[in-house]
Structures are given as structure tokens and as C-alpha cells.
């Protein structure tokens, strides 16, 4: 697995979306269709055509299917190179059949677009470009070299050259459009799928960490009773043991270790309070201080401001997504800040707003509208800072934070306070979506 430098989240090193069984099944369908078409033209319509050569090309596809299944197994997921090689073979095999049966004059020449579509949907961009170029070359060769179109021997058919050129142009345009459009749509879909998988992974990690607090408290509770029994029995033994004897020393050791265990269990019981119970409700200001605490003390100052316009701060219920999203944005701000991060909160009867501002280089202006998309470098490193030569990241952190906070009902906006930088993230919730009744 590959780890992004900015987010520390695993990403796939290779893209293997297809099972070999899928490619084999598509090829079997092509074999059956081609065989039916060739036999129907030869025996059903009685048109002359190079039957043996056509059947040999069709049999070659069938042999390839058998070899691939025996070699790798139907459930194997081929690499991009192997999958691209199979698509290129299918394209060449189809081109050979068309060359034997009329070239671009054959109405089935439209099928040259099918391998390009499969490649654009499932393969990397480089492979798709190669497949598209191969399709264009095959179409160009078929336009100038091919055997006559199978037709009735007594009826001569002649196609105007301009008509054939029009077919060639249409196929080339189809190759370009399908490869560009489908490849772009599939690429965006793959990015979203990978980023959502990373989001779920980050959320699962946070949930596991939160669960440890509950497990520790439960273990401390269960161990408390037997430990008290051991301590009580040890004290009774100390009263009966002779002072200065070996037994008295062992009893004192047991009592001391029991006291040490009680102190450890007390820490375990309070672990959830120290780290924050994920199911407790706290005021907004306390929640912000909690999520910012791990990022303090790294040479950056985090300042908190509140501008209440409706009494006391709203009481917010902790959730994994809320804590992770806010913490991620504050961490991102502290990473890029030169010296100071400001976290401002305010609330009205209808809305709760949190604004996170840093004094760093800011977001790249041309990318502000796209911030929150996965795998997007959000802004450059400070050109004057010690990390000037480090990459700006892949944008997964911002995507994850935005996704998790939007699940809580928030709306996020990104901008720069000044022309020279100072990035700002504004998070707004409907107050009813996050506020809970305070517990007494």
C-alpha cells in the first residue's frame, strides 16, 4: 500500500477493477456473435467471403480465452498491462475480420468503438490513449486496404469514396469522444470511490480508538472487585504473620502491588474523561478546545474567540465524524500557519458557526472553487518556510473533513482573508442539527 505524505492514509498502488472472468465473458460473446454473423453471410445469404480465414481469427480469440482461464483462473484480476493487452488483441482481431469483409464499408465497423469504451471505463489513462491510437490506426488502414464487402455475385455494389471517408471521420471522432469523455467520467468516479474508502477507513480508526476508552473502563470495573478481595485477604494475613518473617515481607509486597493496581485501574476509569467521551454533550467552546489540544505546543499559537449573540454557547454532542472533521481542519491550518491559528465561534438562534483562520500562504486562488474534491492539492507550502520544497499534499484530508462535517449537517466555505494568503474555513450548522439539551 502507498501512503500519502499529507494525510497518512493508504491508497491503492495499482488499479485492478476487472476480473479476468469479465474480459473472458465479453470475448466469448464476441466469438459467438462473430461466428453467427460469418456463417449467416456465407450460408444464409450465400455471399462469398474468405470463410476459413474468418473462422481462424474467431478461433484465435477462443483459444486465447481458454489459455487465460487455465493460466490465471477466472477470478484473477489482471494488471493494467495485461488487461490493456487483451483489449488491444480484441481490437486487432476485430480489425482483421473487418479487413476480410469489406473494411469500413462493413456496417459492423462501428464495433471498433467497443474496445475503446471498455478501456476508457476500466483502464488507466495511458493505456486508454494507446488503445485509442491503435483504433485510429486500424480504422485508417481499413479505409485504404480491405477485401471487397461480401455481396451477391451477380449484383455489384460500389461505395462513393467520399462516403467511405465520412465513415472514417465518424469513427475517428467517436474514438476521440468516447476515450476523452468516458475516461474523464470514470476517472472522477474512481477518485470518489478511493476517497470515500479512505474516509471510511479514517472513521473506523477513530471509532476503534474511541472504543478503547470504553473497553478500558469496563476492564477496570470488572477487575476492581477481585482486586479488593485480594487486598483484604492480604491485610488479614499481615495481622496473623510474625513481624520480620519472610511471610510478612511477602504480604507487604502483595499489599503494595494491589495498591499499585488500584491506581492503574483508577486511571483506566478516567481515560474516557481525559480523552473525551464520544457520546457526551459539551459546550461548543469546550469542544473546540478539546479538538485543538493535540495540535498545540508545536511552535504555533491557537487562539480562540467567541462572539455570542444568543446567550450561553450551544451544547454539542460529540460524534466521531464531528471530532475528526474539526480536528483535521485545525491540524491543516496549524501545518500551514506561520505562527498563529484563530478559531472563532459564534451562534445565533438559528445557526452555529465556526471559522478557522491561519496566517499562512493561503489557498491557491485557482483551486478555491474545487476545494474539498479528493486528490486535489489545496495550496502550496509556504515558499519562505522550512518546508518550501515539500509537496502540498493530495487533498484527501480536506475531502475527509468536508465529507464528515457535511454528514452532521454543516456547510463549508473556503476562501482567503487577504490577497497575500491567510486561509479561512467557515463551517455553518443549523443550530437544531447539532444542539442537544444540556444534561443536569
pLDDT, one tens digit for every residue, the chain (440 residues) = 334 433 443 344 445 567 888 899 999 999 999 999 999 999 998 899 999 999 999 999 999 999 999 998 888 888 888 999 999 999 999 999 999 999 999 999 999 999 998 888 888 888 889 999 999 999 999 999 999 899 888 777 778 889 889 999 999 999 999 888 887 777 776 667 666 666 666 666 656 555 555 555 666 666 777 888 888 888 888 877 777 777 888 888 888 888 878 777 776 555 544 444 544 688 888 889 888 888 876 678 888 888 766 678 888 887 877 888 898 899 888 888 888 999 999 998 889 999 999 998 888 888 888 777 765 654 554 444 444 444 444 456 787 788 788 888 899 999 999 887 889 999 999 988 888 865 54
- Do 87 and 32 have their domain in common? yes
The pTM for the full model equals 0.52
- Do 16 and 134 have their domain in common? yes
Buried residues in 366-381 as b, exposed as e (16+ CB within 10 A): ebbeebbbbbbebbbb
Distance CA 371, CA 37 (A): 52
- Do 57 and 103 have their domain in common? yes
Is 291 a member of any domain? yes
Distance CA 426, CA 52 (A): 71
- Do 47 and 142 have their domain in common? yes
- Do 216 and 288 have their domain in common? no
Is 440 a member of any domain? no
Print the domain residue range for 245: 211-275
Give the per-residue pLDDT at 6.
37
- Do 285 and 271 have their domain in common? no
CA-to-CA separations, 122 to 10, 64, 93, 134, 251, in angstroms, rounded:
21, 20, 20, 17, 71
Domain boundary among 275, 295, 325: 275
Domain boundary among 159, 175, 201: 201
Give the per-residue pLDDT at 211.
56
SS3 (DSSP) at 306: strand
- Do 53 and 179 have their domain in common? yes
- Do 147 and 238 have their domain in common? no
Pair 318, 277: CB distance under 8 Å: yes
Torsion over CA: 66, 111, 135, 186 (sign): negative
Is 168 a member of any domain? yes
> Which residue in 334, 329, 342, 328 sits closest to 297, CA to CA?
334
- Do 67 and 180 have their domain in common? yes
Buried residues in 129-152 as b, exposed as e (16+ CB within 10 A): bbbbebbbebbeebbeebeebbbe
Is 224 a member of any domain? yes
How far apart, in Å, do the first and last CA atoms of the chain sit? 48
Is 55 a member of any domain? yes
Distance CA 95, CA 143 (A): 11
Domain holding 336: CATH number? 3.30.565.10
Distance CA 312, CA 303 (A): 20
Is 407 a member of any domain? yes
SS3 (DSSP) at 412: strand
Beta strand spans in 288-350 (E):
301-308, 315-317, 340-347
Domain boundary among 275, 307, 325: 275
- Do 95 and 227 have their domain in common? no
Distance CA 245, CA 253 (A): 13
C-alpha cell at 292: 485543538
Torsion on CA atoms 62, 67, 68, 71, rounded to nearest 10: 160
Please give the tally of structural domains in the chain.
Answer: 3
Distance CA 404, CA 117 (A): 34
- Do 338 and 420 have their domain in common? yes
- Do 218 and 184 have their domain in common? no
Amino acid at each position: 500500500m502507498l501512503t500519502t505524505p499529507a494525510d497518512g492514509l493508504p491508497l491503492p498502488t495499482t488499479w485492478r477493477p476487472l476480473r479476468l472472468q469479465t474480459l473472458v465473458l465479453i470475448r466469448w460473446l464476441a466469438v459467438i456473435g462473430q461466428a453467427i454473423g460469418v456463417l449467416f453471410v456465407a450460408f444464409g445469404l450465400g455471399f462469398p467471403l474468405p470463410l476459413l480465414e474468418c473462422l481462424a481469427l474467431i478461433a484465435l480469440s477462443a483459444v486465447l480465452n481458454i489459455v487465460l482461464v487455465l493460466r490465471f483462473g477466472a477470478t484473477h484480476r489482471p494488471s493494467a498491462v495485461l488487461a490493456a493487452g487483451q483489449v488491444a488483441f480484441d481490437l486487432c482481431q476485430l480489425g482483421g475480420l473487418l479487413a476480410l469483409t469489406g473494411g469500413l464499408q462493413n456496417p459492423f465497423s462501428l464495433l471498433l468503438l467497443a474496445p475503446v469504451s471498455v478501456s476508457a471505463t476500466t483502464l488507466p489513462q495511458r493505456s486508454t490513449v494507446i488503445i485509442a491510437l491503435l483504433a485510429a490506426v486500424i480504422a485508417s488502414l481499413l479505409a485504404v486496404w480491405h477485401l471487397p464487402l461480401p455481396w451477391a455475385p451477380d449484383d455489384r455494389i460500389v461505395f462513393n469514396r467520399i462516403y467511405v471517408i465520412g465513415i472514417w471521420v465518424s469513427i475517428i471522432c467517436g474514438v476521440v469522444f468516447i476515450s476523452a469523455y468516458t475516461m474523464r467520467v470514470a476517472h472522477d468516479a474512481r477518485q470518489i470511490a478511493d476517497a470515500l474508502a479512505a474516509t471510511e477507513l479514517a472513521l473506523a480508526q477513530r471509532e476503534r480508538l474511541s472504543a478503547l476508552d470504553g473497553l478500558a473502563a469496563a476492564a477496570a470495573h470488572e477487575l476492581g472487585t477481585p482486586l479488593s478481595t485480594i487486598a483484604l485477604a492480604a491485610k488479614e494475613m499481615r495481622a496473623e504473620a510474625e513481624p520480620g518473617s519472610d511471610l510478612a515481607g511477602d504480604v507487604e509486597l502483595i499489599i503494595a502491588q494491589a495498591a499499585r493496581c488500584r491506581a492503574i485501574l483508577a486511571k483506566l476509569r478516567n481515560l474516557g474523561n481525559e480523552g473525551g467521551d464520544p457520546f457526551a454533550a459539551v459546550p461548543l467552546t469546550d469542544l473546540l478546545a478539546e479538538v485543538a489540544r493535540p495540535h498545540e505546543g508545536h511552535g504555533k499559537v491557537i487562539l480562540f474567540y467567541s462572539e455570542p449573540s444568543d446567550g450561553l454557547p450551544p451544547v454539542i454532542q460529540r460524534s466521531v465524524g464531528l471530532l475528526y472533521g474539526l480536528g483535521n481542519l485545525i491540524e491543516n491550518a496549524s501545518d500551514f500557519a506561520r505562527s498563529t491559528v484563530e478559531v472563532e465561534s459564534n451562534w445565533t438562534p438559528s445557526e452555529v458557526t465556526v471559522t478557522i483562520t491561519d496566517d499562512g500562504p493561503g489557498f491557491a486562488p485557482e483551486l478555491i472553487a474545487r476545494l474539498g474534491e479528493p486528490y486535489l492539492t489545496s495550496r502550496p507550502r509556504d515558499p519562505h518556510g522550512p518546508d518550501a520544497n515539500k509537496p502540498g499534499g493530495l487533498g484527501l484530508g480536506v475531502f475527509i473533513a468536508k465529507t464528515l462535517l457535511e454528514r452532521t449537517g454543516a456547510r463549508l466555505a473556503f476562501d482567503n482573508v487577504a490577497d497575500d494568503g491567510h486561509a479561512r474555513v467557515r463551517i455553518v450548522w443549523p443550530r437544531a442539527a447539532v444542539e442537544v439539551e444540556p444534561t443536569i
